[in-house]
Amino acid sequence: MASIPFTFQIPFTSKPTNSFPSLPKLGSKFLGSQNSLSWSTPSKIGPSNGSRTRCWFKFGKNGVNAEGAGIYGSQIRDDFDRDDVEQYFNYMGMLAVEGTYDKMEALLNQNIHPVDILLMLAASEGDKPKIEELLRAGAKYDVKDADGRTALDRAVDEEIKQLILNFSVQKA
């Protein structure tokens, strides 16, 4: 990450008050600064030694994408664990809706792999990108919970069901 040098100066003034003689009176509401802040502008942005730089990284479809870089979407089934389930549960606001972790804990206590639990939760939320990521990682859509419901049964609408089925057919 590149840094850009700059100077930031805030002049401070203080005057004693009658009610609190030991405390300074601030000149304004902004930490005792005067009416204007003084900024020193850099002479140029970039390397200051006169050298030229060239970017060696690429963005977009001609460069490295997040999946190719191993950041997103390149996980395999065993890369997911209980913490991922809890993070997703919190991120999607399920804790706020449910009020407790009981639903999540019930799923985790059924000896269902975390990636399959995540698929069930994502299907119930209609989270298409997460569903695709999980199916690519090897999540199984036909795993049943204690109530006998699968990710397909939990899908919020037909579009999500079709997404799961189409992806599973393409992978086979």
Domain assignment present for 153: yes
> Exposure string (b/e) for 96-117, b if CB count within 10 Å is 16 or more?
eeeeeeebbeebbeeebbbbbb
Domain assignment present for 23: no
β-strand partners of 12 = 33
Q: How many residues does the chain have?
A: 172
Domain assignment present for 157: yes
Distance in angstroms (rounded) separating the CA atoms of residues 108 and 145 = 10
Q: Report the number of distinct structural domains present in the chain.
A: 1
**pLDDT category, 107, cuts 50, 70, 90?**
very high
Instruction: Give the range of the structural domain holding residue 115, as residue numbers without chain letter.
Output: 76-171
Whole-model pTM over 0.75: no
Distance in angstroms (rounded) separating the CA atoms of residues 7 and 30 = 18
Which one-letter amino acid corresponds to residue 11? Answer: P
Domain assignment present for 31: no
Domain assignment present for 94: yes
Domain assignment present for 128: yes
* DSSP helix/strand/coil, 9: strand
**pLDDT category, 167, cuts 50, 70, 90?**
confident
β-strand partners of 7 = 40
Q: Please report, for the domain that includes residue 107, its CATH number.
A: 1.25.40
**pLDDT category, 108, cuts 50, 70, 90?**
very high
